[in-house]
Structure 1
Amino acid sequence: MKQYDLLKQMSVKERRIQLFFSQGLLFLIAIIMSFFLFDSFFDWMHLFKWDTKEIFIFGFLSAVIIVLIEIAIVYTMPKKWWDDGGINELIFKNQPIGFIFIFTLTVAICEELLFRGVVQTTFGYVFASILFAAVHIRYIKKPVLFSAVLALSFYIGWVYEHTANLIVPIVMHFFIDFLLGLVIRLNK
């Protein structure tokens, strides 16, 4: 059975529970891995730096540019090239903006803690970027969609390498997902 069919059978509440559960697993994996791969749990503190300029330029502005590029792709390429099978519509369409905000913030924090905070910090930029893209397995059969996720993953990884600040990729990831979630929700 396809992932879309499984999600479609769930109620909105069950779907939300499943979405947050999957993110909770990623968060738990990040915490457990950090105990084994970091010298101290407090090594996490060195990954976070409040730098307003970096957060705005690399986090927020990069996200806006990426969202504009993705919207251009959606409106210029055939749907079969970029459509994820309706899964993102199931997740975001007809949802309250508050849910979209909380869910995309949760995704950004959990995924970036794991993929940039633990995996990239420990195993490097290329491995983390490829693994991040591979986790989005439902995109593999859609070359345009998968290429976009792979390129985005490498860009987020580069931003983390460049800034050495985990707040920046979290902010970028959040705004990309939040803005695209709003586009799906508001698109008639």
Structure 2
Amino acid sequence: MASQSEIIKGMTDKELSKQIIFSQLLLIVVSLLSSLIFFDDMVEWFGLFRFNLYEIAYYGILPGLIIVASDIILIYFFPTKYYDDGGINDRIFRNRSIKKIFAIALLVAVSEEILFRGVIQTTFGYVVASIIFALIHIRYLKKPVLLLSVLIVSFYIGYIFILTENLLVTITAHFIVDFLLGVVIRFKSEVLYNE
């Protein structure tokens, strides 16, 4: 059976884009259907989306930047093999424009945070949501540095949700991480592949 990495490497950019969009929209549908099951009052669930500029900046943007800076430092100090996810992130971001990286990062941040913080964490708790979030990044399971990194980030963002109970904050933090690291991967790849 082909690995996730082999399947993704065999896709065209268009096929990969369609797959990313489909999988993230599926997560949103699962989240919305699950919220109907687990929440008696949908107004309460929609109340998890609050526009609070202070919270978004202090608990969303700032932690996102801290996570990205930490990742860049770790990437600099650890050998490439410790951060190699089988080339999947490189394949996703390498040939994308900044606008497309923005769109992918936003879609992923929205879909994953709605499911993991908005449904799983509010229903089953912080630890369960954080561990499941780390485990769905299946390609990291055989890479201890990547797995530990995503686990720490998951617990960190989950803790931010405990503090704020605001999905717009966790979506912002998640988006900042995915978008900036996507841009780093794109330009790092551009330099590597143009030499």
TM over 0.5: yes
Bin the TM-score by the shorter chain.
over 0.9
CA distance in 1, matches of 2:89, 2:72: 14
Which residue is equivalent to 1:171?
172
CA distance in 1, matches of 2:28, 2:49: 16
Cα deviation code 1:140-160 (max 9, x no counterpart): 100000000000000000000
> 1:8-47 residue pairs with structure 2 within 5 A?
8-47=9-48
Which residue is equivalent to 1:96?
97
> 1:39-188 residue pairs with structure 2 within 5 A?
39-187=40-188, 188=191
Counterpart of 2:88, as a letter, is: I
State the SS of the aligned residue for 2:47. helix
1:10 offset after TM fit, Å?
1.1
CA distance in 2, matches of 1:74, 1:158: 24
CA distance in 2, matches of 1:130, 1:119: 11
Unaligned runs of 5+ in 2: none
1:57 offset after TM fit, Å?
1.2
Between stretches 78-87 and 112-121, larger displacement belongs to 78-87
CA distance in 2, matches of 1:134, 1:3: 14
TM-score calculated relative to the size of structure 2: 0.94
CA distance in 1, matches of 2:11, 2:177: 26
1:45 offset after TM fit, Å?
2.0
State the SS of the aligned residue for 2:51. coil
Query: Where has structure 1 moved over 3 Å in runs of 4 or more?
Result: none
Q: Percent identity?
A: 49
CA distance in 2, matches of 1:45, 1:85: 37
State the SS of the aligned residue for 2:154. helix
State the SS of the aligned residue for 2:82. helix
CA distance in 2, matches of 1:88, 1:186: 13
Cα deviation code 1:69-106 (max 9, x no counterpart): 10111111011111111000000002111110011100
State the SS of the aligned residue for 1:141. coil
Counterpart of 1:128, as a letter, is: A
How many aligned positions are there? 188
CA distance in 2, matches of 1:24, 1:13: 16
